[in-house]
Amino acid sequence: DGTLVKRSRTEIERDIGNYTIVEHDGVIFACAALYPFPEARTGEMAALTVSPQSQGQGDGEKVLKRVEARARAMGLQSIFVLTTRTMHWFLKRGFQVVDQEWLPEARKKKYNWNRKSQVLVKKL
């Protein structure tokens, strides 16, 4: 529906090691990817999604906690997200709005100005 940036199967398969999932009995209910930017001591949590059937049951929280743990294990000091619709969810979980200029240089170069995404950061 345009909430997430479109990713091809090839991109997902290439980046599969970056993904964290919540699954029950072989069915995936939630996922997110972590793309580290070690030079900036931060990482982008991307493609966070929760199945409509399980929204409100804590699966998004579980994924966030796992991504945070992975980021800490990598020595990162923060994680950030780009969002167009769910800013309130991230704010409730300790993220703060920052300007797009805050983004690591490598990520700024790929920022899609047409999406008008808000950038939110959480210190770990």
Bridge pairing between strands 42-50 and 78-83: parallel
- Residue of higher predicted confidence among 54 and 77: 77
pLDDT, position 30: 93
Q: Are 101 and 109 in contact (CB under 8 A)?
A: no
Distance, in Å, from the CA atom of 88 to the CA atom of 80, rounded to the nearest integer, reads 14
The average confidence (pLDDT) of the chain is 91
Residue range 48-72, pLDDT digits in tens: 989 988 888 999 999 999 999 999 9
CATH superfamily, domain at 9-123: Gcn5-related N-acetyltransferase (GNAT) (3.40.630.30)
Residue range 15-43, pLDDT digits in tens: 889 999 999 898 889 999 999 999 999 99
Band (pLDDT 50/70/90 cuts) for residue 83 is: very high
Residue 42: what are its φ and ψ, rounded to 5°? -140, 170
